[in-house]
Chains A and B, each alone.
Chain A
Amino acid sequence: MVNRMKKTVIARQSGWELRDICVELGGTPVLRHIDLRLEPGSWTSLIGKTGAGKSTLVRLIKGLIPEFTGEYRLAGEPIARDRKGRVRVVPEIGFVFQYPEHQIFETTVEKELSFALRMRGDSSKEIAMAIRAILPVFGLREEILHQSPLLLSGGQKRRLAIASVLIANPGLLILDEPTAALDPVSRRELLRVLRAWQRGGLHGERRTVLFISHRIEDVAEYSDRVALLHEGHLLAHETADDLFLQRNDLLIQSGMPLPEAIELLRLTEHLSGRTVSPSSCGEADVLDQVKEAWNARKENRRNGR
């Protein structure tokens, strides 16, 4: 128990580190020489086209891919493998799969929420406290605790499934397209909750998040760092601002769309002939700069060029 706690603290301070990781599935290389260190307390987004290796990479980090070459270091030490050289599932990591609501398996909301805690042997008092703390974060009421999850609405089920992972207070949270098929307002709301949690909302300490999303606008808006995969290679691992503002040629090269705000920025630079340099790749910042550029141009025209 003490050992586990100690290891947890170290992992949270020194992060998760992959060195020269290669994975082959059925004879084809899926990941090639990946070097990646997840900064503790950061929100890293993982992007790339379908088939670029995103799911394999996150599953590897969680320990769900037993066979790989290279070194996976957790808390500064190589991750433990058993006699056959296989790794065990890394418990310090929470993993939200796509369409998590389809994987709900318990008969009541309470059991679903407490599953991970029961598996690691928390006392029933600890479990009750944890449940009471997490319900309001996800906008779930206490009355539903003894209901069957099947009776909840689609949105509630999604939030319950995610809460059931977050409740274990994982040091690293992996989110595989958590907002798929949600309407825009529900999507924003869910991202807001996850962001608040990551910033230390519930447990008072920043968490590490690894986020897979097809919506490049959300990636630009929420990430501290962005890792770009292309055909199994890690093409970039930079801050969101650096990647989207300076190195967007990498995105184009790997067939990824640019965030709409960045496209507008490029268009504005092209049409107005002046350099526009926002302070970040956030939509608001870009828009402010674009507005300024157009207004200046309008002004110039009015003053007879």
Chain B
Amino acid sequence: MNASDRMLVGQFIERDSAVHRLDPRIKIIGLLLLMIVIMMMDSRSGYAAATVVVLIILLLSKIPLGFYFRGLLPLLPVLILTLLYHTTLGKGQTLLVSYGFLHITVEGILEGVRIVWRILLMILAASALTGTTRPLVLAQGLETLLKPLSKLRVPVEQFSLMIVIAIRFIPTILEEIQRIRLARRARGFEPSNRNPFSRLTEFIPILVPLLVSTARRADNLTFAIEARAYGDGRGRTIFRPLRLTKPDLAAGCLILLSIAILLVIDLHLSNTRI
């Protein structure tokens, strides 16, 4: 029943691992670079190498792999839709089936698989970041990285508070969804959980009360934040400032190196373009 048991993306898991101890700024930059590389990825060996890198990160985090994969379950409908979209509307010559506006081609299928694979890798990498970094530390890392932007009047501090709040309210909102679904079922609504499409239609009426209650929460929260003298977030002191240590820098170099290797594998060692 506990929503936090099911909710995984964005949840911090306490472990004693090198990934946990790493400075958040290095993790964020590393993730960013990794994502860019994954997006650029073009070859079979590139995909394989990136998969290995992501798996290594997951293993190093000492968080059970099951946790990461269970986190993907709620995203399954979206992934399936993406796959279907590319498979049925894909372009390409090698036609397998054609019916009306549906053209299933080998290229289309490959394109779908590629895109879904990329999304999967990126989500896993991102949950490795949130799984190993306390939300507040994560926000602090982002804030320091984005600090130069505040000279351009970008509200960097408020952005970082926003992230903390977003992560904090994920379990609350999931619980709320659960409650509304139960209330609907209690009034005679029978969900048919056979296919993902009908599950999507079930979700729409839930959105209304969810939005209303989220708006109410947002209102209350604004008061709560103001009542504790947040102001515009500027000039706050920092209880535990971030410090880059030697191991952090070493790990940073390691990450850069492995990303460079990834690029090399993708661009040069490969002649098997998919």
B187 within 8 A of A: yes
Q: How far is the CA of A91 from the CA of B186 in the complex (A)?
A: 7
A103 within 8 A of B: yes
Q: Are A95 and B206 in contact, with the CB atoms below 8 A?
A: no
Q: How far is the CA of A93 from the CA of B187 in the complex (A)?
A: 9
Q: Are B1 and A168 in contact, with the CB atoms below 8 A?
A: no
A23 to chain B, nearest CB (A): 11
Q: Are B182 and A105 in contact, with the CB atoms below 8 A?
A: no
Q: Are B188 and A91 in contact, with the CB atoms below 8 A?
A: yes
Q: Are B187 and A26 in contact, with the CB atoms below 8 A?
A: no
A41 within 8 A of B: no
User: Restricting to A164-207, which residues have a CB under 8 Å from any CB of B?
Assistant: 164-165, 168
Chain B 164-194 per-residue mask, 1 if CB under 8 angstroms from chain A, else 0:
0000000000000001101111111110000
**A105 and B188 in contact, given A64-B182, A97-B182, A97-B183 (Cβ under 8 angstroms):** no
Output the residue of A88, A89, A105 with the most chain B CB within 10 A: A105
**A105 and B180 in contact, given A115-B187, A116-B188, A168-B188 (Cβ under 8 angstroms):** yes
Q: Are B209 and A64 in contact, with the CB atoms below 8 A?
A: no
Interface size (A, Cβ < 8 Å)? 27
Q: How far is the CA of A104 from the CA of B184 in the complex (A)?
A: 9
Residues on the A chain within 8 Å of B183, using CB: 95, 97, 100, 103
Residues on the A chain within 8 Å of B189, using CB: 115, 119
Nearest opposing residue in chain B for A119, CB measure = B188
Nearest opposing residue in chain A for B189, CB measure = A119
A301 to chain B, nearest CB (A): 56
Q: Are A89 and B1 in contact, with the CB atoms below 8 A?
A: no
Q: Are A102 and B213 in contact, with the CB atoms below 8 A?
A: yes
Residues on the A chain within 8 Å of B190, using CB: 88-89, 119
Q: Are A95 and B186 in contact, with the CB atoms below 8 A?
A: yes
B148 within 8 A of A: no
Nearest opposing residue in chain A for B210, CB measure = A105
CB < 8 Å: which of A88, A102, A164 contacts B187?
A164
Residues on the A chain within 8 Å of B97, using CB: none
A62 within 8 A of B: yes
A272 within 8 A of B: no
**A104 and B188 in contact, given A97-B182, A97-B183 (Cβ under 8 angstroms):** no
Q: Are B186 and A150 in contact, with the CB atoms below 8 A?
A: no
A25 within 8 A of B: yes
B2 within 8 A of A: yes
A107 within 8 A of B: yes
Q: Are B179 and A97 in contact, with the CB atoms below 8 A?
A: yes
User: Restricting to B229-252, which residues have a CB under 8 Å from any CB of A?
Assistant: none
Please provide the 4 A-B residue pairs with the shortest distance between their CB atoms, ordered closest to farther: A119-B188, A95-B186, A103-B183, A116-B187
Binding site for A on B (CB under 8 A): 1-2, 5, 179-180, 182-190, 205-206, 208-209, 212-213
25 inter-chain pairs at a CB distance below 8 angstroms, sorted by A residue, are A26-B1, A26-B2, A64-B182, A64-B185, A89-B190, A94-B186, A97-B182, A97-B186, A102-B209, A102-B212, A103-B179, A103-B180, A103-B184, A105-B206, A105-B209, A106-B205, A106-B208, A115-B188, A119-B187, A119-B188, A119-B189, A120-B188, A164-B187, A165-B187, A168-B188
